[in-house]
Amino acid sequence: MNIGQIATHTGLPAKTIRYYEEIGLVTPKRGENGYRIFAENDAHKLIFLGRARALGFSIDDCRNLLKLWEDKDRASADVRHIATRHLDEIDNKIKDLRAMRDSLADLVRNCAGDARPDCPILTGLQGVTKSS
């Protein structure tokens, strides 16, 4: 398969596939004309990488997961460790986003949203608190 065909087959943009090649995640063969020739195994790797990236795994995690996927003697505990660490990171991001949402909701709730120039949202973004 050429890069256009593999892009269609995997659902990944050609630019992403070229990047994955550049950083060594896939290594397609090259024809005499210099064009990339992707094998079915390359397609499997690219689909795997696409799914892993869609779940938010970092490139380093993808590299490690890909190595584990290719290693038939792997311990599933190694895979679970990477996934659990990533899940913890997601949970922390969700916690941070909830706190961010609550802070913004509080600012919006305290803003009258009328024609007056006084705006608790802008004051809150400055980090200034009103004194009584």
Determine the Cα–Cα distance for residues 95 and 29; give it in Å rounded to an integer: 45
DSSP secondary structure letter of residue 118: -
User: Using one digit for the tens of pLDDT, what is the confidence trace for 106-126?
Assistant: 999 999 888 888 898 998 998
Q: Which of these CATH numbers, 3.10.20.30, 1.10.1660.10, 1.10.10.10, 3.40.50.2300, describes 1-58? A: 1.10.1660.10
Whether the CB-CB separation of 53 and 20 falls below 8 Å is answered with no
User: Using one digit for the tens of pLDDT, what is the confidence trace for 59-74?
Assistant: 999 999 999 999 999 9
- Domain ranges, ordered by start, for the chain: 1-58, 75-132
Mean pLDDT of 41-57: 97
| pLDDT interval class at 54 (50, 70, 90) | very high
Instruction: Provide the whole-model pTM.
Output: 0.80
Q: In this predicted structure, what is the pLDDT of residue 113?
A: 87
Q: In this predicted structure, what is the pLDDT of residue 132?
A: 47
First to last CA, the chain: 71
DSSP notation for 71-85? -TT--HHHHHHHHHH
